Structure 1
Amino acid sequence: MNDFVQWAIETVQSVDPVLRTVLAGVAIMLETSILIGLVVPGDTVVLVAAIGVTSWAEGIALGLAVVVGALIGESLGFWLGRWAGPHIRSSWLGRRIGEQHWERSERYLRRRGGIAIFLSRFLPVLHSLVPLTVGMSGYAYRRFIAWTLPACVVWTTIYVGLAAGAAGSYHQLSQRVHYAGYFFVGAIAVLLIAVLIVKKLIARREERHMQDEPNREA
C-alpha cells in the first residue's frame, strides 16, 4: 500500500504546481456555476490537487485559486439568473432538473435569506441552483458576495487544509510505519465520509425547516 500511495502522491506532485492550481480553480468555477456543478466533480479535483501540495506557498496559492474560482462560478450563476433565469428554468436542462428543485431553492432563499446563500455551498443541488435563484430574485449582488465569500473560504479551508495535511503527515509517517499507506487512505476516506455526513445533516435540517414553513404560514 505504501508503494501505491507514494506513487499516487508523486504522480500528482509531478504535475506543474501552476497547472495544478489553475486546473483546480477552473474545476471549482465550473462546479459552482450555472448547473454545471451537477455534473462536474470540482471538489474531487480540489482534493487531488491538495494532495500534491509540498509547501505553504503552494497551499496558499491553491486556496486562493479555489476561492477565486468559486466566486467567479457563483457570480456567473448570479448574473445569468439576473439576465436569463426564467429562460434557463424553462429550458430542456431546467426541466430535467425538476420544478420541485427550483421551487425548493426559491422557498429556501425566501425563508433563510443570506444564511441560505452561505449554507447552499455545502448542499447538493442547491449549490448550483441558489446563485441562479438569487439572481432572479433581485437580491443585491454585493449582499450575495458578502454571504458567499465566507462560505467559499470555509469550504476551501476544509478541503485543501485536510487533504494537504494528510499528504504531509503521510510523508513523515511512512519513514517510521510500514502501514502508513493504509493510514493515509483511511484519513482521506474519513474526510470524504465526514463531509458527506455533514452535508446530509445540513440538508435534512434545512429540508425539515422548509417543510415546516407552509404549516407556520397556514
Structure 2
Amino acid sequence: MTIDFTDLTGTLLTAVITYGPALLALVLFVGGLGIPLPGALMLMAGGAFIRQGVLDISTALPLALVGVVAGDMTSYAMGRFAGEFMQRRFGETATWKSAEETLHKRGGIAVYLTRWLLTPLAIPTNLVTGASRYPALAFLGYDVAGEVTWIVLYGGLGFT
C-alpha cells in the first residue's frame, strides 16, 4: 500500500479550512508522535489562512502550540515508559552512551534546536530524553520555547 502525500496534504488543508484550528492542532499532535504528516506545510498554510481571515489567530496559534507540545510530551513519555527496555537493548552501545552524555550536558539546547532547526531529530530526541530520565519540566520548557519558534517561523512564512 502506498500513500500519496499530495492527496493527503490536499485533504488535510481542506479539513483545516472546514474544521478550523482544532484540526491543525490534531495534525501537529499526530506529527509529534512521529507519524509523518506535513506539519511545517500545515503551519505555513495556517499562517496564510490567518492572513485571509479563514482562521482566527487568537485560537489557531495557542491550539497549534498545545497540539504539537502534547505530541512531543507523549513521545517523551513513551521513551520514559520504554526506558528500561531501551537501556537494556542499547545502553551499552557507544552511540547510546554518547547520546545520553550529550543530553545530560546540553539537553536543553538539543531539545530546543530539534523543534525547529533539526526537525528530523525531534522524535528520536523525545524518546532518548524520556528514556534517559531527562527532567520532564526541563524538557517541557525547552520544548515549548522551540515549538513557539517553529510556529512563529513557519506560520509567519505563510502569513507574509
TM-score tier by shorter-chain length is 0.7 to 0.9
Please say which of residues 78-87 and 22-31 is displaced more in the overlay.
78-87
Work out which of the residue numbers 63, 66, 73 in structure 2 matches 1:65.
63
1:125: how far off?
2.5
Query: Does 1:121 pair with 2:118?
Result: no
Q: Which runs of 5+ in 1 are unaligned?
A: 1-7, 92-98, 166-218
CA contact (8 A) 2:75 2:126 kept: yes
What is the count of residue pairs matched by the alignment?
144
CA contact (8 A) 1:109 1:116 kept: yes
Q: How big is each residue's C-alpha offset from its partner over 1:126-184, in whole Å with a ceiling of 9 and x where there is no partner?
A: 1111111111111221111111111111111111122123xxxxxxxxxxxxxxxxxxx
Q: Name the amino acid aligned to 1:60.
A: S
Structure 2 SS opposite 1:125: helix
Larger RCO of the pair (alpha carbons < 8 Å, separation 6+): 2
CA contact (8 A) 2:103 2:110 kept: yes
Q: How big is each residue's C-alpha offset from its partner over 1:9-43, in whole Å with a ceiling of 9 and x where there is no partner?
A: xx969933xx131221111111122x32xx22211
Q: Which has the larger radius of gyration?
A: 1
Measured in 1, the distance between the counterparts of 2:76 and 2:45 equals 28
Which residue is 2:17 aligned to?
15
TM-score, with length taken from structure 2: 0.73
1:85: how far off?
3.9
TM-score, with length taken from structure 1: 0.55
Q: How big is each residue's C-alpha offset from its partner over 1:180-212, in whole Å with a ceiling of 9 and x where there is no partner?
A: xxxxxxxxxxxxxxxxxxxxxxxxxxxxxxxxx
Q: How big is each residue's C-alpha offset from its partner over 1:24-74, in whole Å with a ceiling of 9 and x where there is no partner?
A: 1111111122x32xx222111222232222349712321111110111001
Structure 2 SS opposite 1:52: helix
Measured in 1, the distance between the counterparts of 2:157 and 2:45 equals 12
Measured in 1, the distance between the counterparts of 2:152 and 2:100 equals 28
